[in-house]
Structure 1
Amino acid sequence: MTRVYLVRHGVHDLVGKVLAGRMDDVPLNEAGRQQASALAAFFADRHIGRLASSPMLRCQQTGEPIATTIGRSMETIEALNEIDCGDWTGQTFTDLDKDPRWHDWNAERSRAGMPNGETMLAVQTRVMTLIDTLAMDDSAPMVLVSHSDVVKAIVMALLTAPLDHHDRLTIDPASVTTLDLWPGGGKIVRLNEAVPQGVAA
């Protein structure tokens, strides 16, 4: 059995305001950097054997203090990347709320897609291919730093839950979702765990 910690990146200035998607210039803000430091302290004594991250800057900056603390290099894995938001990348949620396609997307993630972007099913397919590979590795626990929709896609696949129910899950910035994986399956140990703040790594 393999333990995997799914980490959502720390907070940045666009959270709740703009659909950042794959914008490559979205750094953590001060609160996000503090969250990253708290995550590093959280993982300090958990004997992590592997650390990997989405290529997005906000994930890389979340993972860097963890890498320093646990003494491991951080891999970049494309399968952990944020959903490709296509034409909606960089749009405010206020503007998106006026687009009927946005409401269609959020109501039927199993069917709808983003204009010139990715479907939720495509995200789930690529990331579960990675998860299935990791389930074959029974070595030390690993940390994967990614994004809310990616974490949701993994959780829903393990629960065999419909993608249309994505809004029944909350994955907060800097939260940790813990999985135990084995070949052909896995279970959710903890979901959306908040890491205590104010503890130095």
Structure 2
Amino acid sequence: MTFSRLFLARHGQTTGNVAGVLRGVDSQHDELTAEGHAQAQALARKLAALNLDSPRIYASTYTRTQQTAAPAAELLGVSVTVLEGIQEIDPGDWRGRPYSDLKTGFDELVGPDDNVSFPGGESQRDVADRFETALRSVLGLPGTPIVVSHGGALTSLLIRLLRVPVVESWRSDRFAQANAELTELIQTIDGWQIKQRPEKIWRI
């Protein structure tokens, strides 16, 4: 028996994504590129085609997620609710480093007890804790929640909800999401499960 249905989406492309540099909270006002806006429109059409029961759209406090969510909200005839706690992971001392360091320097982020943590910033557990708390405030409401968030934050949440190993999942990019990619989860008596996900995934 299915108790909850949840859709998670990553924001569309930004100039920060194109530059490929970790920026943390410095990127909170970054806007979508032309490609990012096109991705947001495509995401909106995909969501509209699903004919969801009473959809509710949430976005983080960052501009890019709200811009990504806006076309879907317009097509579905709903508003975008800004949700605290689902913003991107804080890379701390890694701010300014290239995305490629997430591969070449990954061992610097590995901590004890199967944890991934940015020095001077947040850990996977930190992000999963705040994201999960935010979700609790919306999952009990009627309708179908659609949450637009960020790559690192979504990875952290999926690791928590699916109860999988942290370091292995981060290292393999198992839950990396492309810009404007959509993931559907269902909650049953056995916990959360991914219902459908594209085979090709990558971190941008």
The two structures have a TM-score, normalised by structure 1, of: 0.81
Partner of residue 85 from structure 2, selected from 73, 79, 84: 79
Question: Deviations 1:17-69 (Å, cap 9, x if unpaired)?
Answer: 11132222321111110000111111223344311011111111101111111
The structural deviation recorded for 1:133 is 4.3
Q: Aligned-residue CA RMSD in angstroms? A: 2.8
Change in 2 beyond 3 A, CA 1:109/1:38:
farther
Aligned pairs for 1:52-71 within 5 A: 52-71=58-77
Partner of residue 34 from structure 1, selected from 35, 38, 57: 38
How many residues end up aligned between the 2 structures?
A: 191
Give the Cα–Cα distance (whole angstroms) in 2 for the partners of residues 133 and 184 of structure 1.
21
Contact 1:176 1:193 in 2 (8 A): no
Question: SS of the counterpart of 1:52?
Answer: strand
Question: SS of the counterpart of 1:15?
Answer: helix
Give the Cα–Cα distance (whole angstroms) in 2 for the partners of residues 140 and 81 of structure 1.
23
Question: SS of the counterpart of 2:156?
Answer: helix
Question: SS of the counterpart of 1:78?
Answer: coil
Aligned pairs for 1:29-178 within 5 A: 29-44=33-48, 45-93=51-99, 96=101, 103-105=107-109, 110-137=114-141, 139-165=142-168, 166-168=170-172, 169=174, 170-178=176-184
Contact 1:135 1:183 in 2 (8 A): no
Change in 2 beyond 3 A, CA 1:132/1:183:
farther
Q: 1:92 is aligned with what amino acid?
A: P
The two structures have a TM-score, normalised by structure 2, of: 0.80
The structural deviation recorded for 1:154 is 2.2
Which residue number in structure 1 is paired with residue 10 of structure 2?
A: 8
Change in 2 beyond 3 A, CA 1:46/1:85:
same
Give the Cα–Cα distance (whole angstroms) in 2 for the partners of residues 190 and 48 of structure 1.
20
Q: Which runs of 5+ in 1 are unaligned?
A: 195-201
Question: SS of the counterpart of 2:115?
Answer: coil
Which residue number in structure 2 is paired with residue 198 of structure 1?
A: none
Q: 1:56 is aligned with what amino acid?
A: Y
Contact 1:80 1:150 in 2 (8 A): yes
The structural deviation recorded for 1:152 is 1.6
Question: SS of the counterpart of 2:163?
Answer: coil
Question: SS of the counterpart of 1:66?
Answer: helix
Give the Cα–Cα distance (whole angstroms) in 2 for the partners of residues 135 and 163 of structure 1.
24
Contact 1:155 1:188 in 2 (8 A): no
Give the Cα–Cα distance (whole angstroms) in 2 for the partners of residues 48 and 74 of structure 1.
13
Give the Cα–Cα distance (whole angstroms) in 1 for the partners of residues 131 and 34 of structure 2.
29
Give the Cα–Cα distance (whole angstroms) in 2 for the partners of residues 157 and 77 of structure 1.
19
Give the Cα–Cα distance (whole angstroms) in 2 for the partners of residues 56 and 110 of structure 1.
29
Give the Cα–Cα distance (whole angstroms) in 2 for the partners of residues 73 and 31 of structure 1.
23
